[in-house]
Amino acid sequence: MIFFITFLKALAAVLITNNHYTGIYPTDALAKGGMVGNILFFAVSGYLLYNVKLPFLRWYGKRLWRIYLPVVLVTGTCMAIGLYQLKPGLVSWHDFLLSVVGYQRLGKGTVTWWYLYPTYYHFVASIVVLYIPYYFCVKIQALRNNLGWLMLAIAVVWICAYFTVFDRSTNRILNTHDPFIRFMFMESMLLGAWFRQNDVNVRNKGSVWFPILAVVCFAAYVVLQGALARYKGLVTLQIVAPFVNLAILYFIFRTCAGYDSKLEKLPVLTKKFVTLLSDTTLEIYLVQFVLIRLFKPMHMFPVNWFLLTFSIIISAYITHIICGFIYSGVDKLTGKGRLSAPQISKRS
């Protein structure tokens, strides 16, 4: 994998995890960065999955196989030891469809919520849904050749929806459990695909302005969120927030792509650690929820921070290794004379 992509994927894992460290730091003001981490991950996914070659069902099945195994393994383990509870009952088709659209708290605690469409992990739920339109966006040549116009069209549709059906009475446009968040996630995937499409024009062509503009956009986002929290009359301006985040994403991507060769020259141990985080991004996301809940009562910063972070990395790595054995075992069983099981792939 191109190392700047490895770096961005690891950075996404760090930011998403740090955002969940509320109650771990002396002040929750330090537990930030989750939204940038989310869109970074979707952009990296868009970059890596740009060259789709398989028919849709095989391609999508491959993605689901890679995603669902660690979800089932982590969730099942937590249930077996009593850390997660399963509620009786099933989600109705009506509620299930609403959940797919993005209302992700429906059927809380049921088999559907935990396993079939794992909305406990909002990130996973969004991946499962958005991989479908993304496939056709990069598979259909007319769309693939006009990614910029496609992103603009999606933005226009989203703005129209915001001013017609979105509840603008409260500041919730970046709520990860709100359907409208998927606009930004989808745009991030397409932006990642655009970067892959224009790789030769951006990689190792850095500028000091890109990191500066990333910081400026981030500062603008902080100011905007502070103003929205303080002055309720400005709530309509929340529509600006997703576009500021996409600007942050663009300039972070340009910065890292522009200095790819310099990132390649990082010390060997640093690169190995970054690669470890990158390879276990999904597992890190899955194991952190229960571990954070267990470490919150400690209140011994920074000891709790180090113990929690170490536990997350080790648990994620063990989960990754176990899943790897299962992937390999299933592939060996099905690889001769029948369709091969999906491989752990970061590109296809």
pLDDT tens digits for range 117-161: 887 888 888 999 999 999 999 999 999 999 999 999 999 999 998
Rounded to 5 degrees, φ, ψ at 98 are: -65, -35
Number of domains into which the chain is organized: 1
| Long-range contacts of residues 19-23, Cβ cutoff 8 Å, at least 24 apart | 20/288, 20/289, 20/292, 21/292, 21/305, 21/308, 23/292, 23/296
Pinpoint the alpha helices (H) of 206-267: 209-230, 240-258, 260-264
Residue with tokens 């770096």: 7
Full domain range(s) for residue 39? 3-332
- In whole angstroms, give the CA distance from residue 156 to residue 183: 11
Residue 264 domain-assigned (yes or no): yes
Residue 230 domain-assigned (yes or no): yes
Quick: pLDDT tens for 292-309: 988 887 778 888 899 999
Residue 81 domain-assigned (yes or no): yes
Residue 340 domain-assigned (yes or no): no
Q: Which residues contact 15 (CB under 8 A, 6 or more apart)?
A: 33, 34, 36, 37, 40
Residue 348 domain-assigned (yes or no): no
If one compares 93 and 24, the residue with the highest pLDDT of the two is 24
Residue 293 domain-assigned (yes or no): yes
Q: What number of residues does the chain have? A: 348
pLDDT at residue 99 in the model: 75
Quick: pLDDT tens for 87-124: 887 777 777 777 777 766 667 788 878 888 887 888 88
Quick: pLDDT tens for 205-260: 988 999 999 999 999 998 998 898 888 888 888 899 999 999 999 999 999 999 99
Is residue 35 a contact partner of residue 174, using CB atoms and an 8 Å limit?
yes
Residue 105 domain-assigned (yes or no): yes
pTM of the model: 0.90
Q: Which 3 state secondary structure label does DSSP give 223?
A: helix
Taking each helix axis as running N to C, give the angle between helix 268-279 and helix 303-334, from 0 to 180 degrees, rounded to the nearest 10: 70
Taking each helix axis as running N to C, give the angle between helix 281-295 and helix 303-334, from 0 to 180 degrees, rounded to the nearest 10: 140
Residue 342 domain-assigned (yes or no): no
Cα 202 from chain centroid (whole Å): 23
| Long-range contacts of residues 300-306, Cβ cutoff 8 Å, at least 24 apart | 301/24, 301/25, 301/26, 304/24, 305/21, 305/24, 305/25
Per-position DSSP letters for 103-132, written without gaps between them: -TTTTTTSHIIIIIS-TTSHHHHHHHHHHH
Percent of the chain with pLDDT over 70: 95
Residue 323 has pLDDT above 80, yes or no: yes
